[in-house]
Amino acid sequence: MALAREVSSRTDHADARQRCLAVREALIRAKLFSETATDSAGGTRWRVSPSPFLLSADHVRFFESLGTHLLAFNLALNRLYFESVHGTQPSWIAAYLDQGKPDSLIAYSRLDRFRDLLPDVIRPDVIPTDTGMVITELDSVPGGIGLTACMARAYSEWQMAYSKAAEKNSETPAISHKLSAISSEHFEVVGGPDGMLLGFAALLRERMEGRTGGVAIVVSEEARDYRPEMEWMAARLREQDLAVFCVEPDEVDFTEDGLRLARDHRPIALLYRFFELFDLTNVPKSELIMYAAKQGRVAVTPPFKPQLEEKLAFALFHHPALTTFWQKELGEDTCTVLAGVIPKTWILDPRPLPPAAVIPGLQLGGRAIADWRDLGHATQKGRRYVIKPSGFSPLAWGSRGVSVGHDLPQSEWAAVIDQALASFPTTPHILQEFHKGRQFELSYYNEAVQDVVPMAGRARLSPYYFVAEGKAELAGILATVCPPDKKMIHGMKDAIMAPCAVAQGQSESHKV
């Protein structure tokens, strides 16, 4: 009996290695993964797992329903901003959301033509903790769309191939036993093998608004690391009978009739903006793109509305003066769900408070405080907070500019607070409660030893919702798992990255 278990274990182990190599090869063919550590011709590198990141059916249902609540939040935030602009809500709301933006962009974002436009892609960053899920931020211009789509297809194709082999050889005992060992961990990738492609295609078709022409995914130099995955995505969308092309800003031509692709003079019906608004001055032809959109000659998504791309929106959700607004706009169910997943967040505003005022909901050692700098004297246990730029900054994405209080010496933490307060005029920062991620046990292919090895780590789950027909549909979830010694969870060479799947087999080792 022991020998049988040993043989089965060797079979599973050898197969896990083969699965990693098969997925790795698929990513290399797609030009999304560098073949060697020194290859910089395209793609990046991370740790490839033999299996997707497994979720329970209950957590998949949670993620499927979450999109509806986040879409409602974006809709309410947009309304809150414009009501603040027009005086039916306090003016300080719009002032916060506009802080640090150029006047010309603020005026442009307020045009009636764009008033009701919202981001068509919603991607929250979700941390699984021992007590539940926590959303650290929302991203309207997320990377990972093509990567998640490609990996979903690669893992699904492996699963389907072995399922067919098991069915074909079910009557041959020796082969059937081996395939049973190989397929002991059944899964179904969230969204299916082509959920990301079909979801993205649906939103693009709807946003073309009956216009004639193709779709240009415009990727800036700042976002160049994501160009390979969007090129892969565009190629797959063309297989769906959509004329989609991934281009650099210089490859867009402006004419009196609208925008065209320089390569074949094809009219652009829809432009997918894969560049950040803080970077507009460095994006060639951005003014011409904005002019064409203003004249209605091209549709653009996500819209040029920086107020919808601020992390401080979470602080507004928790602001006691706005409780009635959120309850009215969102309803009891959505308010309850969001209150359970959005961590307490504050805007680091350096302006002094009146003598009788305190910062709502913020305490130090059990007492209310009225000065942010009091946090600089907190003990390590008392500074379990994160400070990060709210938005409209090159430091506001990719875990840049993030400082974790209890990971810093007290003097450095105090300096971070001072710097954040000083930068308020141009780059507002937020203070957010820190929630420790739950630890998982996974495995990955270690190229140094050419074998699959175990790894403990903490996860970030990034579900992708594509908005079409007024609904935010879940298309896939990307898991990023970093070793416990890493301060931030983000894509890196030491991280395991994999799509999420519904667990259907016996393995529970890293199921959420």
Domain boundaries, the chain: 195-308, 345-434
Half-sphere exposure of 431 (CA within 13 A, CB side): 27
**Measured between alpha carbons, how far is 189 from 133 in angstroms, rounded to an integer?**
20
Q: Among 32-36, 59-63, 120-124, which is the least confidently predicted range? A: 32-36
The angle formed by the CA atoms of residues 474, 479 and 481, to the nearest 5 degrees, is 165
pLDDT at 177: 40
* CATH number for the segment(s) 195-308: 3.40.50.1760
Q: How far is CA 366 from CA 93, 362, 369, 431, 433, in A?
A: 29, 9, 10, 18, 15
Q: Are strands 367-368 and 363-364 parallel, antiparallel or unpaired?
A: antiparallel
Cβ 314 vs Cβ 343: under 8 Å: yes
**Measured between alpha carbons, how far is 309 from 26 in angstroms, rounded to an integer?**
34
Cβ 310 vs Cβ 391: under 8 Å: yes
Predicted confidence band of residue 222 (pLDDT cuts 50, 70, 90): very high
Mean local confidence (pLDDT), 363-383: 93
pLDDT at 511: 62
Sign of the four-CA dihedral 245, 249, 252, 258: positive
Predicted confidence band of residue 186 (pLDDT cuts 50, 70, 90): confident
Phi, psi of 173 (to 5 degrees): -55, -45
Count, in order, helices (H) and strands (E) of the chain: 12, 20
Phi, psi of 254 (to 5 degrees): -105, 130
Q: What average pLDDT is seen over the chain?
A: 90
Query: DSSP state, 198?
Result: H
Q: What is the pLDDT of residues 417-467, one digit of tens each?
A: 999 999 999 999 999 999 999 999 999 999 989 999 999 999 999 999 999
pLDDT at 42 over 60: no
Q: Among 105-109, 168-172, 219-223, which is the least confidently predicted range? A: 168-172
